[in-house]
Amino acid sequence: MSKNRSKNVWVVPLESGWGVRREGSERLSRITDTKKEAENIGRNIAKREHGELITQARDGKIQSKDSYGNDPNPPKDTEH
């Protein structure tokens, strides 16, 4: 695996349901009926890979970001 490979995991809206995919991959890792289920799956992947979970809203805009990596300067996250 390349050191520059992104470990970001995206939760994306689909026509019917929600998808989970790794950044840079065209293929979805999982398809779910609910956003909550997709977020749980994505969170588990991001934690395991020490990456970031990026969740989109239904309109495609980024709704939230959660980092599970070793950030030397973590932001003051007031979301959680």
Burial string for 52-64 (b: 16+ CB within 10 Å, else e) reads bbbbbeeeeeeee
| 72-79 average pLDDT score | 60
The pTM for the full model equals 0.81
Q: pLDDT tens digit string along 20-35?
A: 999 999 999 999 999 9
The pLDDT of residue 69: 79
Confidence check: pLDDT of 2 > 50: no
Q: CA-CA distance, 34 to 66, in Å (whole number)?
A: 19
